[in-house]
């Protein structure tokens, strides 16, 4: 029997209806809302022949389990977009482009990273199983549908996975504000993975030592660092910029 998943908010529910409607089991919505956005979602659910239930706000709060739901919650089968790293690399239709997150435990940060990864064309996001947040309802809502399009692989041993990537010809570039090189010095046209640490602690020692290269994001103002989701966006779009034809 497939594991269940709670999808809260318009973006998460609409994205699942678009990408995998058969996985949606039930949709619960605020019976008091009849605005254009809600009517559009209900029409999409009807086209997909998914059951909908008008309920009160208290029932929605209970279903969403503390996640902001905007008046709509869906119960669905959990999806796995990729089984493992080999599947990701073998099905990538371009030069491998990955994002590795070490120690990102805030679901808002992970959701934002997934959203940017989708926009930048990243093939997968990789994180350690013991120091990362899973794909919960908050992540799905913040990701605005990207949790249904970008594979999120949680691995038992991150350093070992990074070494396997190196064996497969993937260049590992980490961020370090003490480096003399910048993100603009990276040849991002090569098969690569950006390696990001959590804000504050940064990457663990072994993760840092496994990187092929460390670079910094140029900072012109008074702040010392960027939020991990913002830093990831800056790095990912340096790759996008360099790979433009």
Is 27 assigned to a binding site?
no
pLDDT-based confidence at 225, cuts 50/70/90?
confident
Q: Distance between CA atoms of 216 and 52, rounded to whole angstroms?
A: 49
pLDDT tens digit string along 78-103? 766 655 788 788 777 789 999 999 98
> What are the sequence ranges of the domains in the chain?
4-77, 85-243
Residue 186 belongs to what H/E stretch? none
pTM above 0.85, yes or no: no
pLDDT tens digit string along 101-128? 998 999 999 999 999 999 999 999 999 9
Is 217 assigned to a binding site?
yes
Is 183 assigned to a binding site?
no
Residues 222-232 have a mean pLDDT of: 88
How much is the pLDDT for 1? 43
How much is the pLDDT for 2? 52
E strands present in 97-229:
97-102, 124-128, 152-155, 171-175, 192-197, 213-215
Instruction: Share the mean pLDDT of the chain.
Output: 89
57, 61, 63, 66 alpha-carbon torsion, rounded to 10°: 160
CATH number of 4-77: 3.30.1330.30
Tokens of 117: 């990864």
- For the domain made up of 85-243, give the CATH fold: Alpha/beta knot (3.40.1280)
Q: Are 134 and 107 in contact (CB under 8 A)?
A: no
């Amino acid at each position: 029997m497939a594991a269940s998943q709670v999808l809260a908010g318009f973006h998460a529910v609409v994205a699942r209806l678009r990408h995998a409607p058969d996985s949606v089991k039930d949709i619960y919505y605020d019976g008091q809302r009849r605005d254009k956005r809600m009517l559009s979602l209900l029409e999409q659910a009807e086209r997909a022949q998914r059951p909908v239930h008008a309920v009160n706000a208290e029932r929605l709060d209970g279903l969403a389990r503390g996640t902001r739901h905007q008046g709509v919650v869906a119960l669905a089968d959990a999806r796995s977009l990729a089984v493992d790293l080999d599947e990701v690399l073998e099905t990538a239709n371009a030069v491998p482009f990955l994002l590795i997150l070490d120690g990102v435990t805030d679901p808002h940060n992970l959701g934002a990273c997934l959203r940017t990864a989708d926009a930048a064309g990243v093939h997968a996001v990789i994180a350690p199983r013991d120091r990362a947040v899973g794909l919960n309802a908050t992540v799905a809502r913040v990701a605005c549908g990207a949790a249904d399009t970008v594979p999120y692989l949680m691995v038992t041993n991150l350093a070992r996975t990074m070494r396997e990537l190196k064996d497969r010809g993937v260049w590992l570039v980490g961020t370090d504000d003490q480096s003399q090189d910048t993100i603009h010095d990276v040849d991002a046209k090569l098969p690569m993975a950006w390696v990001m640490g959590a804000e504050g602690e940064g990457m663990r020692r072994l993760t840092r030592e496994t990187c092929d290269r460390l670079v910094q994001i140029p900072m012109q103002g008074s702040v010392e660092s960027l939020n991990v989701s913002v830093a990831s966006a800056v790095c990912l779009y340096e790759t996008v910029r360099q790979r433009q034809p």
